[in-house]
Amino acid sequence: MRYRLKLATWTVVREAREPSPRKLTTPEAVAKLAIDFVRAMDDDKEHFWAVLLDGKNRYRMHTLVSTGSQGASIVHPREVFGPAVREGANALLVAHNHPSGDPTPSFEDFEVTERLARTGDVVGVRLLDHVIVGNGTEKWVSFAERGLIVNGVFKR
């Protein structure tokens, strides 16, 4: 069993007019960010993140939407899009990990991605990609790279 002791918390504040230096325009860039998220969690649970972007696909912020069990995490569109709407994001990316190390999308991953893409269309915040990272392997799968998300529309 592993324990994690949080020793310090800090907040980085960016000046209002200063754009984010991290531009997320490729699946590789999104996967690299998601791998960083997974490494920071250091446990055997599934985690689901939303990454909020401005109009030029620059990173604005991210939020941990859900922490689940070894096999699943519960994700509802209101928890994903609530922060995006509040923060005025133009688009978003979602990412989650598979503790098994195998990033192959499950049936539930397809279902939640389709639901999120439909919700994004309704609220005006496009879903650009869903990346799944395998714990400890740095293997990843991008729905956009596979042609399953095109311009915010899920194609099955």
The conformation of residue 59, written as its DSSP 8-state character, comes to E
Please give the CATH topology (third level) of the domain spanning 27-154: Cytidine Deaminase; domain 2 (3.40.140)
- The model's pLDDT over 94-147, given as tens digits with 9 standing for 90+, comes to 999 999 999 999 999 999 999 999 999 999 999 999 999 999 888 999 999 999
Residue 118 and residue 124 in contact, taking contact as beta carbons nearer than 8 Å: no
Spatial separation of the C-alpha atoms in residues 47 and 68, rounded to whole Å? 6
Residues in the chain: 156
Give 3's pLDDT tier (boundaries 50, 70, 90): low
